[in-house]
Structure 1
Amino acid sequence: MEKENLILTEEWDKVFPKNDDVEQCKVTFVNRYGITLAADLYKPKGTEGKLPAIAISGPFGAVKEQVSGLYAQEMASRGFLTIAFDPSFTGESGGQPHFMASPDINTEDFQAAVDFLATNEDVDADRIGILGVCGWGGMALNAASIDTRIKATVTSTMYNMTRQIAKGYFDEADNADARHEMKVALNNQRTEDYKNGEYARMGGVVKELSDDLPQFAVDYHNFYIGELGYHPRSPGSTDGWNATGCISFISQPIIAYSDEIRSAVLMIHGENAHSRYFSEDEFAKLTGDNKELMIIPDAVHTDLYYKMDVIPFDKIEEFYNKYL
């Protein structure tokens, strides 16, 4: 498997401060589609021997310099070797054209991260977990239903992106006519893209606030566009995904066999998050006494992106210590 020669930024360009008790370096690995992924590896300083490890990604539209890196650095400070990776077609990772997404390939990205960790000399291959935030929470749960090397999975403020795209928020567009109209528009856009030789972008999160916006759209704006989390490589901070980038999500639902996940799962969501139903509905399908749903009082969706006093890191650490 040949690696693509990626251009990686070596200076610290994260949206969160550096923890000097944690070592950080750039690494790359290849998924089974031949796409080279870029990641930041975090390791607690002064450790010896093989460590438990966690692969982290998300949210949907973010890059590793934002939320996943924050989680990865914090968990490394608590004794884990972690990687925060850019999924295929995003950030510093390979795959052309950029700003595409795929239920299959993005699930594979988590499995490729496990490949990398399982063969890393500093990692105990029998103690590997994954953590997915927002849209990559759904991908993480999907990977856990496939990959038996994953011993523990955490999802934070999870979206099931195939459900959201095919049915709309709160399933309000869950009908054949609505999906047909969406398919017509997307396929017409495919024709225009091919004719023009370039891919139109969706526009990203709302750039200008107005009084009629739902609060979660305001929260996304404040994170991705404001000083909280803006990053120039992030689709959420710039012009978003390609307009046709998520077309396959309409007919490729993920997490079909979540009831067969035998490894441990911890699902975390905010009490006041618009997306809370995604976690509650998926959790209801899980079986076994090693599954847990944690609802954070008063928290909204994006609070679990960056608020260190809201994200339950003590609970996450306890969970991984128990199951890895």
Structure 2
Amino acid sequence: MAEYYIHELSENVTRKHVSYRNRYGITLAGDLYTAKNSDNNQKHAALIVGAPYGGVKEQGPCVYANELAQRGFVVLTFDPCFMGESGGEPRHVSSPDIFTENFSAGVDYLGLQKFFDREKIGLIGICGSGGFALSATAMDTRIKAVATMSMYDMTVAARLGMDAETVQKTKEQLAAKRWEDAENGTPEYISFFPETPLDNVPEELGEPVAEWFRFYAVKRGHHPNAAGGFTTTSNLAFMNYNILDHIDEISPRPILFVVGDRAHSKFFSETANENAKEPKELYVVDDAEHIDLYDRTDRIPFDKLEKFFKEAM
């Protein structure tokens, strides 16, 4: 599906399709990026890049991997379980545990390759994958450093703006939906974005919905494997967890939080930064909204990322 990558592959980079299983036995589909002049007789530092929540490897991750491979890293991108070319049934299910596990499964895969240094594996999580990457790093001490880009904590987002009464009503509605799903034999999934890219974002959309459409629903970021949203009852699992409860246990491994100055999601990174222990850094990108750190190479601070991981690992 090369025609669906949102960023052109550099002539100096090789992209290889790979697959591996997570601890649940689900096969993940990934892409491995290396510089064409890379010496496979040497052991290299590696990065794993996770897609925005609801996104796939051909979107934001391919932008990061293409650039960072040219800067000396081997980079693994992947489709989350139940999405894209990865396995898992039913489709479009979301799980805070399994989406966190996907990063550790990538560490397993990299660590079994002869040309990787097991002591030099780092993570980059974009949007919702930022929260999962932090959760994986808190659990998995094999991960030596983590950076988040426009981070979303989806377990916080699942309850955002709700009072106790609204939480209870939401649980009751989703519990009733589980009865419907059980009776139908399959969970309800309602896609959020159009099947074909739009020329313009509908004027009647408010923020941040309009922002999601500015990436996913138009040619800029549209992909047929990223129709938006997850099964309706997936939110129940996220309402029952807080994936960043143990963020302080990442220390003494370093964390870099990168966020746009105009990002509606900025508070997620600010809160996580407050709760994390040193070494940590909150890096604010000028004139950038949330989605700008998905694909805008004039906004993504690649020099900062390169320096961070080379010093950390």
Smaller-chain TM-score bracket = over 0.9
Q: What residue in structure 2 maps to residue 261 of structure 1?
A: 250
Using the aligned pairs only, state the percent identity: 39
Matched, 1:213 2:201: no
Residue identity in the other structure for 2:12:
D
User: 2:187 and 2:249 mapped to 1: Cα distance?
Assistant: 39
Q: What residue in structure 2 maps to residue 70 of structure 1?
A: 63
Q: Which deviations, in whole Å up to 9, do the C-alpha atoms of 1:232-280 show, x marking residues without a partner? A: 01132xxx31111232000111011111212111110011111000000
Q: What residue in structure 1 maps to residue 295 of structure 2?
A: 306
1:201 CA drift (Å)? 1.7
Matched, 1:193 2:186: no
Matched, 1:27 2:22: no
1:298 CA drift (Å)? 2.1
Give the aligned length. 305
Q: SS at the partner of 1:248? A: helix
Q: What residue in structure 2 maps to residue 4 of structure 1?
A: none
Q: SS at the partner of 1:284? A: helix
Contact preservation (8 Å) 1:103, 1:254 = yes
Moved more, 290-299 or 148-157: 290-299
Match of 2:168 among 173, 177, 180: 180
Contact preservation (8 Å) 2:90, 2:186 = no
Q: What residue in structure 2 maps to residue 154 of structure 1?
A: 147
CA root-mean-square deviation: 1.5
Alignment of 1:1-324 (within 5 A): 9=1, 11-48=2-39, 49-165=42-158, 167-168=159-160, 172-173=161-162, 175-205=163-193, 209-211=202-204, 213-214=206-207, 216-236=208-228, 240-262=229-251, 263-288=253-278, 290-324=279-313
1:205 CA drift (Å)? 4.8
Q: Structure 1 residues 205 and 179 mapped into 2: Cα distance closer, same or farther (>3 Å)? A: farther
1:20 CA drift (Å)? 1.2
Q: Structure 1 residues 281 and 205 mapped into 2: Cα distance closer, same or farther (>3 Å)? A: farther
Q: SS at the partner of 2:284? A: strand
Q: SS at the partner of 2:55? A: coil
Q: SS at the partner of 2:121? A: strand
1:301 CA drift (Å)? 0.4
User: 1:243 and 1:210 mapped to 2: Cα distance?
Assistant: 26
1:212 CA drift (Å)? 5.5
Q: SS at the partner of 1:246? A: helix
Contact preservation (8 Å) 1:272, 1:298 = yes
1:12 CA drift (Å)? 4.8
1:15 CA drift (Å)? 1.2
